[in-house]
Amino acid sequence: MLEFLHHALRNLVQYGMLLMEMIGVCIVLVTGVRSVVGLFMHDEHIRLKLAQGLALALEFKLGGEVLRTVIVQEWSELLVLGAIILLRAALTFLIHWEIKNEEARLK
């Protein structure tokens, strides 16, 4: 019974990770297309919209990585996963900083 629950949890987490990653990728693609269109239409808020879309996508990707920590079985995997999470968190921080600067510039 315990093995069944472990297997079910592992499958649930893997599907959840995949879903979070796919949502993040879709957000990047949609944001990219909208940004290109906005660039040609000379939208002055395009940098802000692009940064906000990328920040949202990174949040979903980061959520997928956090889910992955549930099923890590070795320390080496955990170290690699920790490094990925730190890099994505740093990117998120930098993008949020860029959003604040862009909002201040537009005011």
Domain ranges across the chain: 2-106
The pLDDT of residue 54: 95
Residues 6+ apart with CB under 8 A from 98: 51
Instruction: Please give the structure tokens belonging to residue 1.
Output: 């019974």
C-alpha 24: how far from chain center: 5
The pTM for the full model equals 0.84
**Tens place of pLDDT per residue across the chain (107 aa):** 889 898 999 999 999 999 999 999 999 999 999 999 999 999 999 999 999 999 999 999 999 988 988 888 888 888 988 898 899 889 989 999 999 998 898 87
Q: Are 48 and 99 contacting, i.e. CB atoms less than 8 angstroms apart?
A: yes
